[in-house]
């Protein structure tokens, strides 16, 4: 477990009895495109801020170097809480930007393939997770504006953070819809290609049915049969029937 205390001294831990608790997911984009989410619990009093995470997060470890959204007149803990959530927002903005870049790459793929659908469904899964995270984050930030002990400037800073979270939430919603549209487009293309193959198979089956039926009626040989037909006549009839069927399929547009 990774724990960071932002304060002047450790004795302030004793004052954590009257704390306010806020939980957030901190996303980090890995080199392989997978997203690692660190759950961070913030326990805040006017004089101390304690962050508790299961795994070590570089963003929280270096949060003191991040620019603050709140003003210097804000109590220390709420000022540092604004800094921490500003870092959370920056991580989410970086993640959403990577999602949009991945969407553009999918739109440039000319042909459907198993690799394309694997990438598309992976992106869809990550967008669904980001959708849920940002929905919770904007609710948390909207509630954080009413934390006890904060000033009007701090409340306004949380409102700005909530507005950023709401914008990212809408962006993720729209990106997810576009990914679903791209997947649906490629599925329709695959279905259309399959229909073309099925039409060709139907044409070949009908053409092969004509000589099969005539051969079944007349048998393998025409000699000593009661029908007054010769082999050239039967061959001409079969060819004419096949050409007639091909013309019918061409008129219907099945050969295009």
Indicate the domain borders of the chain.
Answer: 2-192, 195-252
Global confidence as pTM:
0.67
Q: Which among 244, 254, 224, 220 is positioned nearest to 234, based on CA atoms?
A: 220
The C-alpha angle with vertex 203 and arms to 110 and 247, in degrees rounded to 5, equals 105
Model confidence pLDDT, tens digit, residues 42-86: 777 767 777 777 766 555 555 554 444 444 566 677 777 778 888
Model confidence pLDDT, tens digit, residues 93-136: 888 998 999 889 888 888 888 888 888 888 898 888 888 888 88
Strands 35-44 and 49-53: antiparallel
The answer for residues whose C-beta is within 8 angstroms of residue 140's C-beta and 6 or more apart is 22, 23, 24
- Segment 151-174 mean pLDDT: 84
Residue 11 pLDDT greater than 60, yes or no: no
Dihedral angle sign, alpha carbons of residues 19, 20, 23, 28: negative
CB atoms inside a 10 Å sphere around CB 177: 11
User: Which position has the token pair 């870092």?
Assistant: 87
CB atoms inside a 10 Å sphere around CB 160: 16
CA distance 16 to 14: 6
Dihedral angle sign, alpha carbons of residues 135, 140, 141, 146: positive
Could you tell me which residue, 58 or 24, shows the higher pLDDT?
24
- Is residue 137 within 8 Å of residue 162, measured between CB atoms? no
CA distance 182 to 189: 11
| Strand, helix or coil for residue 134 | helix
CATH (one of 3.40.50, 2.60.40, 3.30.70, 1.20.58) for 2-192: 1.20.58
| Strand, helix or coil for residue 50 | strand
User: Which position has the token pair 């000593």?
Assistant: 224
- Segment 144-165 mean pLDDT: 71
Residue 7 pLDDT greater than 50, yes or no: no
3-state per-residue secondary structure call for 140-163: HHHHHCCCCCCCHHHHHHHHHHHH
- Is residue 109 within 8 Å of residue 116, measured between CB atoms? yes
- Is residue 26 within 8 Å of residue 88, measured between CB atoms? yes
Model confidence pLDDT, tens digit, residues 189-200: 888 778 877 877
Lowest-pLDDT range, 2-6, 188-192, 243-247?
2-6
CB atoms inside a 10 Å sphere around CB 57: 22
What pLDDT shows up at residue 177? Answer: 92
CB atoms inside a 10 Å sphere around CB 227: 11
């Amino acid at each position: 477990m990774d724990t960071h205390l932002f304060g002047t001294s450790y004795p302030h831990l004793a004052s954590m009895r009257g704390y306010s608790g806020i939980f957030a997911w901190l996303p980090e984009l890995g080199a392989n495109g997978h997203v690692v989410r660190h759950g961070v619990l913030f326990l805040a009093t006017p004089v101390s801020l304690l962050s508790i995470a299961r795994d070590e997060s570089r963003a929280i470890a270096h949060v003191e170097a991040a620019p603050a959204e709140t003003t210097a007149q804000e109590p220390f803990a709420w000022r540092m809480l604004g800094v921490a959530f500003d870092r959370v927002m920056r991580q989410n903005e970086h993640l959403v930007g990577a999602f949009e870049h991945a969407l553009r790459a999918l739109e440039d793929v000319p042909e459907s393939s198993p690799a394309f659908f694997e990438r598309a469904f992976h992106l869809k899964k990550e967008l669904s997770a980001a959708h849920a995270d940002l929905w919770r984050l904007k609710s948390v930030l909207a509630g954080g504006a009413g934390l006890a002990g904060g000033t009007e400037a701090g409340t306004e800073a949380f409102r700005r953070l909530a507005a950023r979270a709401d914008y990212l939430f809408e962006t993720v919603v729209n990106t997810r819809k576009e990914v679903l549209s791209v997947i649906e487009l490629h599925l329709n293309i695959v279905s259309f290609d399959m229909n073309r193959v099925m039409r060709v198979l139907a044409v070949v089956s009908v053409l092969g049915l004509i000589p099969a039926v005539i051969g079944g009626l007349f048998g393998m040989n025409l000699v000593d049969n009661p029908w007054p037909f010769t082999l050239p006549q039967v061959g001409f009839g079969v060819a004419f029937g096949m050409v007639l069927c091909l013309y019918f399929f061409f008129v219907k547009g099945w050969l295009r």
